[in-house]
Amino acid sequence: MSAQAGIRTEPASADPAPPVRRRFGRADLVTVLCHLGLGVFVMWPLWRDPAGGKLAGSLEDQYFNEWNLAYAAHVLTDGANPLFTTLMNPPAGANIMANTSNLGLGFVLAPVTLAFGPAVTLVLGLTLGLAGTAAAWYWVLSRWLLPADAAGTVVAAVAGGLIGFSPTLVAHAGGTHLQFVSQFLLPFIVWRVTRLADRPVREGVIIGLLVTYQLFLGEEILMLAAMAVAVLLAVRLADRPRVPWTTVRRFLTGSAVTAATVLGLAGYPLWTQFFGPQSYAGIEWSMAAGTPLPGWTAYSTESLAGGRWQTEFALNGAEQNGFLGWAVVGLAIAAAVWLWRRSGTARALTVTAIVFVLLAAGPRIVWAAGEPGIPGPWRLLAPLPIFESILPARFALVAIPCMVVLLALAAHRLTQVFPHRKARLALVAVAAVALIPIAPTPATVWERPRVPEFFAAGLWKQYIRPGHTLVVAPRPSCYYGDPMRWQYLADFEFRINSGYFISPVGPDRTGTYAPTARPSELVLERASTRNEPQAVTADDRRAAREDLRVWGADAVVVDPRMPNAEAIRVTVGRLYGVTDRLVGGVWVWDVRDV
C-alpha cells in the first residue's frame, strides 16, 4: 500500500467557507446544555447559598454588582434615573453610566431580582455569562469558520468551551466581573462585521443594535473587541490590497449606519458618562503591570493544575489574564506556524494575537520572571484618552479567542488531512493533555457577614426617615461594601453617605474608587486605621454638624464587628455629642436634632 494511502491532499486554502444556514439541531442542544452545565459546575459553591456566600476573588465587587442589579430593578419599579443617582454620596451623587453598572443584565433579569434578590441574580448572571459566551462562540464557529460536518461541530463545541471557560474568564467570574464574563454578543458582532459590505444598511443596523446593548453589558470589552476587529481588518487588507472600491464604499456606508444607530440609541447615555454630573477624566491604571510572557504558560488558581496565586503574574486573583498553560500556548504557536502559508484568516488571527499579547504585557515586555524586560507597545497607547483607564493585562481577553480560533482551524484541518480513526484518537489525546490542566474548578466561596437585624428586621425605620441619609462609619468604599447591601435590602428607602463607585476627585477630575471624603469621614477613618479614638476639636464638631446637614442625615451607624470598632465608636460620640444605643446588632446615634 502506498505511504500516502488514506492521507488526503491538503486544500490550497484553510480560509472559512461561506456562512452555513442550518437549523438548531440535536448537536446544538447537547453543546449548549454542556456549556450550561459547566457554568453551573463552576458557580455551584455560590449557588448553594447566594445570599450567604462571597466569592473569594471578588474583594468588595460582589456588593457593588449586587447593588447595581438591585438598582436596575429599582429603576423599573420606582422610575428612578437609570444613569444617575444620589442614593450614594448625597447630594453630589454617583454617575451610574460612568461605572460598570451592568444595566443590560440588570433590566433583563429584573424579575429574578424582584422575586429572589440580587444575590441570586448575580450568580445567575455569572453562570449564564460563562455558558452564553461559550455557546455564542460555538454557534458562530460552527456556522462561519468551520465546515458543517461532525468534526467541525465537535471542534467548535470544544473551542467555544475553551473561550467561555478559559482560566481568564473563570477568574473574572470569581471576581464577579460581570462586564467581562458577559461576552455572548461579541462573536456575533465580529461575524456581522465580516458581512457588512454585503448588505451595508441591514447589517449596519443589526450591528448597531448589538453594539448598543453591549454598551450596557460591558464597554471595556467592547472597546477591546473593536480594536481587535480593526487589527484583523488591517491585516486582511494588507494581505489582499486590491479590494474593489465598491466593497470599501459599501463597508464604509455600513459603518456609518452602525455609528448612526449607536449614537441615536445611546448618544445621551454616552454624553452622561463622559460629560454629565460626576463624570471623570480617567483612572490612572495604564502604567500598572501587565501579564508577563511567562504568565501565559502559568496555571491559574481557578484551573485544575493551578496552585497558589502568583503575584508576579497578576495584579490579583480576579485579574489572572492569560494563564493558558504551556501546552495550549505551544499548540497555538505550532498552529500559527503551520497555517501561516495556507490561510489568510490564520495570518490575521496570528498577527492580532501577537499584538494583543504584547499589549497585555503592559509598560514592559518581561521575558522571564525577575527580569526588567524591554519597553512594550502599550507605552504608545497608555497616555491617550480612555486608554489610561484600562488595565493592560486585560488585552489578554482578546488574544485568547484569537489563539483558540487558530487551534480550532488547525484541529479541523488535521481531521481532514488524517481521516483515520487512530489519527483522530491521537488528536483527542493531544487536546486532552493540553486542556485537562486548565479545566475550570468550582469557584472558591467564603461565608460573608450576616446582615444586622437593624436592617434585616427593618428597625432602621425608627431612626431614618424615607429619603434621608444613613451615615456609616467608616464610610462605605471599595474596602467596605457591606453598607451597600444594607441599602438595597431596605429597597433603597434611605441614602448612604458614600459608596463603592468611581467618582471624580481634585481639579483634574481624576476617577477614584470613592468620592472625596468629608471632614468628619476623615476623622473617623483615622480612628479606624490607627485603632485609637481621635481627639476632637470644636472645629471638628462644627464640620461634622455641617456634614450631617449636607447629607440630610438622620442617624450614624457603626457595625461592632468591624476591625477597630471601639475606637470608631468613641470618636463618633465625641464628634456628635450623642450617646449611642446598641440596636439590632449595630451601634446607632440619632443625629436628627444635632
Confidence at 20, pLDDT banded by 50, 70, 90: low
| % of the chain residues with pLDDT over 90 | 81
C-alpha grid cell for residue 67? Answer: 447593588
pLDDT in tens, 207-260: 999 999 999 999 999 999 999 999 999 998 898 878 888 999 999 999 999 999
Average pLDDT in the chain: 92
* Residue 8 scores a pLDDT above 50: no
CA dihedral defined by 99, 386, 300, 333, rounded to 10 degrees?
150
Task: Classify 23 in phi/psi space as left (phi over 0), alpha (psi -120 to 50) or beta.
Answer: beta
Over residues 177-189, the mean pLDDT reads 96
| CA 217 – CA 63 distance, rounded (Å) | 18
- Least confident span in 220-234, 287-301, 338-352, 368-382: 368-382
| CA 184 – CA 193 distance, rounded (Å) | 16
Over residues 155-182, the mean pLDDT reads 96
- Least confident span in 32-46, 242-256, 398-412: 242-256
Over residues 271-277, the mean pLDDT reads 96
Q: Which residues of 513-529 are buried (b: 16+ CB within 10 A; e: fewer)?
A: bbbebbebbebbbbbbe
Q: Looking at residue 181, what is its pLDDT?
A: 97
Element (H, E) at 508: none
Amino acid letter at 391?
Answer: L
* Residue 361 scores a pLDDT above 90: yes
Over residues 42-53, the mean pLDDT reads 97
| % of the chain residues with pLDDT over 70 | 95
Place of cell 472559512: 16
pLDDT in tens, 104-126: 999 999 999 999 999 999 999 99
Q: Looking at residue 423, what is its pLDDT?
A: 83
Q: Identify the burial level of 445 via C-beta atoms within 10 angstroms of its C-beta, where 0-12 means exposed, 13-18 middle and 19 or more buried.
A: buried
Over residues 68-96, the mean pLDDT reads 97
* Residue 493 scores a pLDDT above 50: yes
C-alpha grid cell for residue 171? Answer: 477568574
Q: What is the pTM of this model?
A: 0.93
Q: Looking at residue 310, what is its pLDDT?
A: 66
* Residue 265 scores a pLDDT above 60: yes
Helix (H/G/I), strand (E/B), else coil: 463: coil
Q: Looking at residue 368, what is its pLDDT?
A: 77
Confidence at 3, pLDDT banded by 50, 70, 90: very low
pLDDT in tens, 334-349: 999 999 999 999 999 9
Q: Looking at residue 312, what is its pLDDT?
A: 76
Q: Looking at residue 16, what is its pLDDT?
A: 54
Q: Looking at residue 471, what is its pLDDT?
A: 98
| CA 391 – CA 283 distance, rounded (Å) | 10
Q: Whats the size of the chain, residue-wise?
A: 594
* Residue 127 scores a pLDDT above 60: yes
Confidence at 12, pLDDT banded by 50, 70, 90: very low
Domain ranges of the chain: 26-438, 453-475+517-590
Which of 147-151, 374-378, 491-495 is the most confident on average? 491-495
* Residue 563 scores a pLDDT above 90: yes
